């Protein structure tokens, strides 16, 4: 137990040292003017810009509204993806005929870059949030679906055969053995999907958007406002870490049997 605690402390310390080293290189490089502020703004400039955006907003929209608009799109997309991908993935993993219908469709669109079909979504659904949420949904669906299929296929067959020999119905096997065994992988798929959807958020807000953190970064890039770009990127990075940490906390709290046979 003590060895594990010492290992965790060392890893946390190493993480802080790594980020401190990155910040130090950034600070020294920009303050010694080895790099143009247009290309790489200093930490002080980024901080001042952040304070200004918090106080005055960006493009007459508060930073909280930008965050709210982005996260409403993101969470709606991921929530719907979770609700649809989990049952479809579990059924595809459990029933070969069901998988034959669904799997090829997912595998077909999964490698296609989101921007390749985003214009079609706008043509079909308009420039409102529906097309943006659908794009994020498609980005989030595949990782959850694939994780569910793989999870079902990795369930220990001895448990299934033993339960059937004791008279368990197919429904009982699925609900009491397969589903609990799949939950850790489902959460892993959800965390991966959240990351995919968040990276797609910038693409979703590139076209016909007037708010959102991704839009703020894209808009700032058009006018070479590198300090605003850094503010948006850092906000996205920090919020992404917080969301992933939140999902990891929920996984550890509710999926307490993870790693135990």
Phi, psi for 188 (deg, rounded to 5): -60, -40
Q: In angstroms, rounded to a whole number, what is the distance separating the alpha carbons of residues 219 and 61?
A: 13
pLDDT band at 1 (very low <50, low <70, confident <90, very high): low
Q: Are 132 and 118 spatial neighbours (Cβ–Cβ below 8 Å)? A: no
Domain ranges of the chain: 1-35, 40-254
The mean pLDDT value of the chain amounts to: 87
Q: In angstroms, rounded to a whole number, what is the distance separating the alpha carbons of residues 221 and 21?
A: 27
Predicted local confidence at residue 178, as pLDDT: 83
pLDDT tens column, 109-150: 888 888 788 888 888 988 888 999 999 999 999 999 999 999
Predicted local confidence at residue 126, as pLDDT: 85
* Degrees, nearest 5: CA angle 215-221-226: 115
Q: Are 86 and 190 spatial neighbours (Cβ–Cβ below 8 Å)? A: no
Q: Is 139 exposed, middle or buried (0-12, 13-18, 19+ CB in 10 A)?
A: buried
Q: In angstroms, rounded to a whole number, what is the distance separating the alpha carbons of residues 144 and 93?
A: 12
Choice among 14-18, 202-206, 242-246 with the minimum mean pLDDT: 202-206
Q: What whole-number percentage of the chain has pLDDT above 70?
A: 95
Q: Which CATH architecture has domain 40-254?
A: Orthogonal Bundle (1.10)
């Amino acid at each position: 137990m003590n060895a594990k605690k010492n290992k965790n402390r060392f890893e946390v310390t190493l993480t802080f040292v790594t980020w401190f080293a990155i910040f130090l290189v950034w600070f020294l490089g920009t303050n010694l003017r080895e790099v143009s502020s247009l290309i790489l703004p200093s930490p002080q400039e980024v901080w001042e810009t952040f304070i200004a955006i918090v106080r005055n907003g960006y493009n007459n929209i508060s930073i909280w509204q930008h965050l709210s608009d982005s996260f409403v799109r993101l969470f709606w997309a991921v929530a719907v993806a979770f609700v649809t991908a989990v049952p479809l993935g579990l059924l595809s993993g459990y029933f070969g005929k069901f998988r034959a219908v669904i799997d090829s469709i997912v595998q077909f669109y999964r490698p296609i870059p989101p921007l390749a079909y985003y214009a079609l979504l706008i043509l079909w659904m308009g420039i409102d949030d529906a097309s943006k949420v659908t794009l994020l949904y498609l980005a989030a669906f595949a990782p959850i679906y694939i994780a569910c299929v793989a999870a079902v296929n990795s369930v220990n067959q001895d448990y299934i055969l033993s339960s059937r020999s004791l008279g368990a119905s197919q429904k009982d096997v699925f609900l009491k053995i397969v589903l609990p065994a799949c939950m850790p992988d489902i959460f892993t798929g959800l965390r991966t999907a959240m990351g995919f959807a968040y990276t797609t958020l910038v693409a979703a807000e590139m076209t016909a958007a007037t708010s959102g953190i991704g839009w703020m970064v894209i808009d700032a890039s058009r006018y070479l406002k590198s300090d605003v770009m850094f503010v948006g990127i850092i906000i996205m990075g920090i919020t992404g870490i917080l969301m992933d940490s939140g999902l990891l906390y929920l996984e550890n709290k509710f999926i307490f049997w993870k790693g135990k046979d």
